[in-house]
Amino acid sequence: MHAQQSIGQFLDALASDAPTPGGGGAAALTAALAAALVAMTANLTIGRRAYEAVEAEMQALARRADELRAQATALIDEDATAFAQVSAAYKLPRGSETERAARTAAIQEALKAASAPPLRLLEVSRQVLELSVPAAQRGNANLVSDAAVAAHLALAALQGARLNAEVNLRAIADEPFVLAARARIASALAGAPELLAAVEKAMAERR
């Protein structure tokens, strides 16, 4: 369970010759870090007299960021499990025509399953990016740089998830499945640069 490892253990595993954790796990961890920073910004706003007007908003923001952090963290291991299933499918016997057909079908199903974690991570990362905007704009001004780091990490996780999803989609023969998945990718990416720009604007104006 990579998500339960210490930071040092995770990085050692990431740098090793083991196939997991890999880019998918790293992207999920990045999203979790971004969500944690959003929560920190909100939590250090809550209870401050100067920010009484946004108290309820920041409380809701912190709760949602914690939920997204938990989802991103879970995706670290879900991605590793999905990769293992794809690897197992490719190792199936292919000596006969029947075996080859069964292997091809298993690979296709495993690739579809493996596309689920990065597609979900796309949506989680997008939501974290969205949360970073009010955190930067109305959260504790002393934490605006932390909210900005969260935004950049969320965007990096978003792009990482896109890359991992695309790798699987290129090998999937089910065209309607691929089209639907690519629509989810496009939806998650739409307007992302503008969200980051809003955070950068808050960073410039509040420091």
Domains of the chain: 20-206 (1.20.120.680)
Contact 24, 2 (CB under 8 A): no
- What was the pLDDT predicted at 2? 85
Q: How many CB atoms lie within 10 A of CB 161?
A: 32
Q: Is the peptide bond before 21 cis (omega within 30 degrees of 0)?
A: yes
- Residue 11's contacts (CB-CB under 8 Å, 6 or more residues apart) are none
pLDDT tens for the chain, 207 residues: list them: 887 888 999 999 999 999 889 999 999 999 999 999 999 999 999 999 999 999 999 999 999 999 999 999 999 999 999 999 999 999 999 999 999 999 999 999 999 999 999 999 999 999 999 999 999 999 999 999 999 999 999 999 999 999 999 999 999 999 999 999 999 999 999 999 999 999 999 999 986
**CA trace torsion 44, 47, 53, 58 (10° rounding):** 40
- What was the pLDDT predicted at 198? 98
- Residue 12's contacts (CB-CB under 8 Å, 6 or more residues apart) are none
Contact 42, 62 (CB under 8 A): yes
- What was the pLDDT predicted at 171? 95
- What was the pLDDT predicted at 31? 98
Q: How many CB atoms lie within 10 A of CB 82?
A: 24
CA angle 93, 181, 103 (to 5 degrees): 5
The whole-model pTM stands at 0.94
- What was the pLDDT predicted at 3? 79
Task: Locate 87 and state its tokens.
Answer: 């690897």
Residue type, 73: T
Task: Locate 58 and state its tokens.
Answer: 């920041």
Contact 136, 200 (CB under 8 A): no
- What was the pLDDT predicted at 112? 97
6-43 per-residue burial string, b: 16 or more CB within 10 A, e: under 16: eeeebeebbeeeeebbebbbbbbbbbbbbbbbbbbbbb
Contact 41, 143 (CB under 8 A): yes
What is the rounded distance in angstroms from the CA atom of residue 27 to the CA atom of residue 164? 9
